[in-house]
Amino acid sequence: MSYDKVEQAQKTIIGTKQTVKAIRTGAAKEIFLATDADERFISPVVREAELHGIPITYVDSREKLGHACGIEVGAVAVAITV
């Protein structure tokens, strides 16, 4: 289900730094995080999302999340934007 939502999203932002930036600018409406990623990559995104009240959906695989975004590599964080 979660991967389908990412695949069907009109606009996404991929990567931890870009996701944090999207949260700070108010562009992100939902965040997807891969739980198989290192905590040092996940925690800044979680902190910003909680600070700004953005919902987080956790998925189990970076590879599957990247594939859902249409890229050949894994993705730790993805933001669906408005």
For residues 70-77, average pLDDT: 95
Tally of domains in the chain: 1
Residue 1 has pLDDT above 80, yes or no: no
Range of the domain at 19: 2-81
pLDDT digits (tens, 9 = 90+) for 43-68: 999 999 999 999 999 999 999 999 99
* Maximum CA extent, the chain: 31
Residue 76 is predicted with a pLDDT of 97
The enclosing domain of 41 has a CATH number of 3.30.1330.30
Main-chain dihedrals φ then ψ at residue 35, nearest 5 degrees: -75, -10
Instruction: Tell me how far CA of residue 79 lies from CA of 40, 69, in angstroms.
Output: 18, 10
